[in-house]
Amino acid sequence: MSTTKIKFLQTSPSLCGSSIFIVAKRYPNDAPHLEGLISELRNNHIFVYIVAHSSPSGGTNPSAMFEVSSKTNGFCIFGPIFFKDSSSEIYISSIAFIQHPYQVASKNVRVTGSGSQSLSVKTYSRPIPYTTEQLIMFITFLGHPRDGSVKSLNYAMTDPNGKVIASGPFQPVLQRNDTLCYEIPVVVNNIIEYTLTVNYEYEKDREGYLELRFYSYDYKIGYWLPFDN
């Protein structure tokens, strides 16, 4: 890793809270010294978001891109990149993400086999109480391109009374060739803590990695979310 990159981050305080967007056709090769870069990105609370082609033109190390994005509370999507195609799921989700820039909940977890993971998602009061707002939910489920290891994936969002306000299988996602799930659940505009539960099943002994993220259209939570790893 170039010391110039570290120096740039250390001497550019205006970068704090920035988001970096990367579209990658080629993967890195060896990337043995990511710790320093990740540390500086974290110190500046810089989110790294990567969309990487599932059929790269070169390079052998997709995990390096995933590691940098995941450890900065960003995310990394692997899939075919058709940004010029307005029907592309990655195109549509990218536009939706840009319109919801404020992260309000985040969790990373390494998983194997089958099970479930949950994440608390708190909503906040805006000027008109008890109206509704839209959060955008991003879930990625592999740290590399698709390899057939994911058998099923579904989710449910419940309110404090256990009422399901949004749910569904991600079957259409599993029929595509990318590693992204996204939904835009409608939630109450008030101080309420919802619970997201993701149920997953991978082939036996195959490992997955869930990145769970929620973003708001206009609400800044006022503090930095902790890093999971």
- The mean per-residue pLDDT over the stretch 173-201 comes to 80
Q: Please say if the pLDDT value at position 82 is more than 70.
A: no
Its CATH architecture, for the domain 103-218, is: Sandwich (2.60)
Distance (Å, whole) CA 164 – CA 160: 10
Q: Classify 144 in phi/psi space as left (phi over 0), alpha (psi -120 to 50) or beta.
A: beta
- The mean per-residue pLDDT over the stretch 160-171 comes to 84
pLDDT digits (tens, 9 = 90+) for 4-58: 454 555 556 578 888 888 888 899 887 767 888 899 899 989 999 998 888 888 9
Cα angle, residue 210 at apex, residues 209 and 214 outer, rounded to 5°: 155
| Backbone phi, psi, residue 209, to 5° | -145, 115
By the 10 Å C-beta count (0-12 exposed, 13-18 middle, 19+ buried), 130 is classed as: exposed
Distance (Å, whole) CA 168 – CA 164: 10
Distance (Å, whole) CA 181 – CA 200: 13
- The mean per-residue pLDDT over the stretch 181-192 comes to 78
Q: What is the pLDDT of residue 71?
A: 94
Domains of the chain by residue range: 1-81, 103-218
Report how far Cα 136 is from the mean position of its chain's Cα atoms.
10
Q: What is the pLDDT of residue 171?
A: 61
Q: Please say if the pLDDT value at position 207 is more than 50.
A: yes
The closest of 114, 141, 162 to 212, measured between CA atoms, is 141
Distance (Å, whole) CA 179 – CA 200: 13
Distance (Å, whole) CA 113 – CA 4: 42
Helix (H, G, I), strand (E, B) or coil at 166: strand
Q: What is the pLDDT of residue 163?
A: 92
- The mean per-residue pLDDT over the stretch 77-96 comes to 63
The closest of 87, 85, 162, 59 to 118, measured between CA atoms, is 162
Q: Which CATH class is domain 1-81?
A: alpha beta
pLDDT digits (tens, 9 = 90+) for 113-122: 999 999 999 8
**52 and 191 Cβ atoms separated by less than 8 Å:** no
